[in-house]
């Protein structure tokens, strides 16, 4: 209802503007042809013969009607005044081509033969006046904005630098100039094309290449930098942003090249530059057709479906038309949020089931599996906070280890086709109980794959996920908002980073490749120094590290190591069809001995045995507690 009222309001506004322009067009027709007649007879009203005056007064109402009708057909009353441009001028010329024929023919058919100069000068003056009417509003708006920008004081316009003098940059400059709602003024442009240096784009000078950014910021007193090169590679964007973040200016960028293709480039689509833009690598891509064939028409269960990874899994799975999507989570608020989001987006088109329960509850997880008989299970439920698990190691075992075993066993008994474990690079040579527990989960998956031939069990291992619950980015942002300090555990600590959609894309692609027993690993590019990430985030927020916001080193947390590894030496590495996804080979072990140790670990964890870490180390020899 509210949306309907909004459109009714827009219709009234358009109608009001259209009527005003229409009346102005009618006045322009009368004026243009009167002056054409006036000029023809040596600018003397008395010299105009009565026959021509009669013809003028008889023809004008008809020609006004024809003008309004032709302009309406050519949608010249539908343009937004703020953004009228050369396109409207070309449309006006095309409209006048037909209008001139109609006017001359109507005059001849009625029998009023006017002087030839009346037609020629009248048409010329009319088209000039009609174009002037449409461009005058935009010109006045630009003049008003320029005047307000010179007034100074509290309302002084902020100076904007546009990086990229292409189509996107041109459209943005035009909008900045045409709007009176934006208290911002484009003062210069940057482009790496030497041929554009010194030239003007929409009245703004291209002052240099990216090498001149810092000097231009100082010379033109730039407050905001807008990166308007949506087609640039991630590596190229990172190189430019690395320069921009040293200026202390507010940084904004266009989300993607698709907006340029769709003609959606506008100021209100700009977003703040985020730490994601500084990763410097291309986003991970998957074969959507392969994933679609795997998921379409299948029943899919996601444990931990309300978490950071689980909820994104649900989003991407829902987009591939499953027969049924079952969300299973212990936290009702998280489950409710993703449930409502998917209902809003897909409505009745998605067969969605949302269940509350714990993977630690044997009866609950078995009953869910037996009732819904999923084809594919994505097991994302886990405790993952490293320091918290160091203080509560028994809970890590109960939830991560035993929860995985119970879920994997229930999947086998329910005839699940594929079981995909969400793992972590912290499982490789772990130094904390969380990583060690996930390594045992991987061992469970490989054991189950050997034991149950009808179900393919695989694990997907990746690094830190930007923006996920418990990741460093939300923590850094909160610390910056509070004025600092931003706390980094160690100056030399490095991590592999990826975005949540990338991580989930890997999981989906890996599940397609799964034959059974594999551990899939993503090539996440070069590791990133967390210290650099913290300092970049401070700069992106408009502050100077160690001057405005202090960076404080607090020492490695319990169980934390300086760098993470992707694979253990004995796992090896094998490429898949997706060159960014690798496979670690299964490590053979005595499954009977492993099961006996697992039963003992289960008993010890339920008794809250304080020696639980030693029992974990007995199962995972590569686990060395820090």
* 43-52 per-position pLDDT tens digit: 888 888 888 8
User: Domain check: are 354 and 253 in the same one?
Assistant: no
User: Domain check: are 239 and 297 in the same one?
Assistant: no
Of 90, 119, 148, the one marking the end of a domain is 148
Give the pLDDT score at 21.
82
User: Domain check: are 326 and 451 in the same one?
Assistant: yes
For residue 565, pLDDT over 80 is answered with no
Pick the range with the lowest mean pLDDT from 151-165, 228-242, 277-291, 470-484: 277-291
The CA distance from 386 to 560, in Å, is 8
Q: Residues of the chain with pLDDT > 90: what percent? A: 33
Q: What confidence tens digit (pLDDT) does each residue in 501-541 have?
A: 877 887 888 788 888 888 888 766 667 788 888 888 887 77
Separation in Å, CA 336 to CA 95, 325, 342, 353: 56, 14, 10, 11
User: Domain check: are 371 and 333 in the same one?
Assistant: yes
Helix (H, G, I), strand (E, B) or coil at 277: helix
Start-to-end C-alpha separation, the chain: 61
User: Domain check: are 572 and 512 in the same one?
Assistant: yes
Structural domain includes residue 431: yes
Determine which one of 185, 245, 426, 539 is catalytic.
Answer: 426
Q: What confidence tens digit (pLDDT) does each residue in 162-211 have?
A: 999 888 888 888 877 766 556 788 999 999 998 888 888 888 899 999 99
The CA distance from 433 to 441, in Å, is 12
Structure tokens at 362: 């044997």
For residue 83, pLDDT over 50 is answered with no
Give the domain range for residue 27.
2-148
The CA distance from 556 to 180, in Å, is 52
Lookup result for tokens 């309406």: 72
Instruction: Give pTM, 2 decimals.
Output: 0.62
Structural domain includes residue 548: no
Nearest in space to 488 (alpha carbons), one of 442, 557, 421: 557
The CA distance from 237 to 259, in Å, is 17
Instruction: Tally the domains of the chain.
Output: 3
Q: What is the DSSP code (8-state) at residue 158?
A: E
Structure tokens at 279: 């990763």
Q: What confidence tens digit (pLDDT) does each residue in 306-331 have?
A: 998 999 999 999 999 999 999 999 99
Structural domain includes residue 124: yes
Contact 280, 260 (CB under 8 A): no
Nearest in space to 256 (alpha carbons), one of 245, 268, 271: 271
Structural domain includes residue 484: no
Structural domain includes residue 89: yes
H or E segment to which residue 486 belongs: strand 486-488
User: Domain check: are 127 and 185 in the same one?
Assistant: no
Can you point out the beta strands (E) in 557-614?
A: 574-575, 581-584
Separation in Å, CA 5 to CA 11, 80, 209: 10, 20, 48
143-163: b or e for each residue (b if 16 or more CB lie within 10 Å)? eebeeebeeeeeeebbbbbbb
The CA distance from 519 to 557, in Å, is 28
Can you point out the beta strands (E) in 330-433?
A: 352-356, 376-379, 418-424
User: Domain check: are 586 and 615 in the same one?
Assistant: yes
Count of beta carbons in the 10 Å neighbourhood of residue 205: 16
For residue 414, the domain's CATH number is: 3.40.50.720
Give the pLDDT score at 611.
87
Q: In three state form, how does the secondary structure of 118-155 look?
A: HHHHHHHHHHHHHHHHHHHHHHHHHHHHHHHHHCCHHH
User: Domain check: are 161 and 143 in the same one?
Assistant: no
Catalytic annotation on 426?
Answer: yes
Contact 401, 390 (CB under 8 A): no
Of 130, 148, 166, the one marking the end of a domain is 148
For residue 10, pLDDT over 90 is answered with no
User: Domain check: are 601 and 459 in the same one?
Assistant: yes
Structural domain includes residue 64: yes
Pick the range with the lowest mean pLDDT from 46-55, 269-278, 457-466: 269-278
Structural domain includes residue 72: yes
Q: How confident is the model at residue 409 (pLDDT cuts 50, 70, 90)?
A: very high
Q: Name the residue with higher pLDDT: 83 or 208.
A: 208
Helix (H, G, I), strand (E, B) or coil at 188: strand
Of 110, 130, 148, the one marking the end of a domain is 148
For residue 435, pLDDT over 80 is answered with yes
Structural domain includes residue 544: no
Count of beta carbons in the 10 Å neighbourhood of residue 414: 20
Q: What is the DSSP code (8-state) at residue 72?
A: H
User: Domain check: are 94 and 200 in the same one?
Assistant: no
User: Domain check: are 109 and 204 in the same one?
Assistant: no
Q: What is the dihedral of CA 235, 239, 240, 242, to 10 degrees?
A: 130
The CA distance from 317 to 323, in Å, is 10
User: Domain check: are 441 and 301 in the same one?
Assistant: yes
């Amino acid at each position: 209802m509210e949306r309907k009222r909004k459109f009714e309001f827009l219709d009234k506004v358009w109608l009001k503007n259209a009527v005003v322009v229409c009346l102005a067009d009618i006045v322009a027709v009368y004026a243009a042809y009167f002056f054409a007649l006036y000029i023809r007879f040596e600018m003397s009203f008395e010299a105009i013969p009565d026959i021509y005056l009669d013809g003028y007064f008889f023809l004008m109402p008809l020609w006004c009607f024809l003008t309004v009708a032709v302009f309406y057909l050519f949608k010249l009353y539908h343009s937004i005044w703020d953004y009228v441009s050369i396109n409207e001028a070309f449309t006006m010329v095309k409209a006048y081509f037909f209008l001139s024929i109609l006017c001359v023919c109507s005059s001849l058919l009625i029998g009023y033969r006017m002087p030839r100069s009346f037609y020629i000068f009248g048409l010329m003056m009319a088209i000039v006046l009609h174009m002037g009417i449409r461009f005058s509003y935009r010109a006045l708006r630009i003049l008003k904005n320029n005047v307000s920008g010179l007034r100074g004081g509290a309302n002084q316009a902020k100076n904007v630098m546009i990086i990229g003098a292409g189509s996107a940059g041109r459209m943005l400059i035009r909008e900045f100039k045409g709007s009176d709602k934006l208290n911002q003024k484009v003062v210069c442009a940057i482009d790496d094309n030497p041929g554009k240096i010194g030239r003007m784009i929409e009245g703004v000078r291209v002052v240099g290449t990216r090498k001149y950014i810092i000097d231009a910021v100082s010379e033109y007193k730039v407050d905001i930098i807008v990166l308007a090169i949506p087609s640039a590679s991630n590596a190229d964007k990172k190189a430019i942003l690395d320069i921009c973040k040293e200026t202390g200016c507010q940084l904004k960028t266009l989300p993607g090249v698709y907006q340029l293709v769709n003609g959606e480039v506008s100021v209100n689509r700009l977003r703040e530059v985020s730490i994601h833009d500084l990763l410097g690598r291309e986003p991970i891509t998957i074969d959507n057709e392969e994933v679609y064939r795997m998921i379409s028409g299948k029943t899919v269960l996601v444990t931990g479906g309300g978490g950071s990874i689980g909820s994104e899994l649900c989003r991407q799975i829902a987009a591939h038309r499953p027969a049924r999507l079952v969300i299973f989570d212990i936290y009702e608020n998280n489950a409710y949020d993703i449930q409502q989001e998917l209902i809003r987006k897909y409505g009745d088109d998605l067969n969605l089931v949302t269940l509350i329960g714990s993977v630690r509850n044997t009866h609950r997880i078995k009953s869910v599996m037996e009732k819904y008989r999923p084809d594919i299970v994505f097991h994302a439920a886990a405790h993952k906070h490293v320091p918290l698990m160091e203080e509560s190691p028994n809970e890590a075992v109960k939830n991560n280890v035993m929860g995985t075993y119970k879920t994997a066993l229930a999947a086998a008994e329910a005839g699940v086709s594929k079981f995909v474990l969400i793992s972590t690079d912290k499982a490789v040579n772990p130094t904390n109980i969380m990583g060690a527990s996930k390594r045992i989960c991987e061992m469970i998956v490989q054991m189950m794959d050997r034991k149950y031939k009808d179900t393919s069990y695989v694990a997907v291992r990746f690094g830190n996920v930007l923006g996920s619950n418990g990741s460093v980015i939300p923590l850094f942002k909160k610390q910056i908002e509070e004025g600092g300090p931003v706390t980094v555990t160690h100056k030399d600590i490095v991590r592999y980073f990826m975005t949540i959609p990338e991580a989930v894309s890997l999981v989906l692609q890996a599940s397609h490749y799964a034959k059974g027993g594999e551990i899939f690993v993503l090539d996440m590019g070069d590791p990133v120094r967390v210290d650099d990430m913290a300092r970049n985030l401070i700069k992106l927020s408009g502050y100077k590290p160690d001057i405005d916001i202090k960076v404080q080193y607090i020492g490695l947390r319990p169980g934390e190591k300086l760098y993470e590894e992707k694979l253990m030496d004995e796992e090896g590495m094998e490429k898949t069809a997706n060159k960014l996804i690798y496979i670690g080979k299964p490590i053979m072990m005595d499954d009977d001995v492993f099961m006996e140790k697992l039963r003992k670990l289960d008993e010890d964890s339920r008794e809250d045995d304080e020696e639980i870490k030693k029992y974990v180390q007995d199962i995972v020899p590569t686990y060395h507690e820090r």
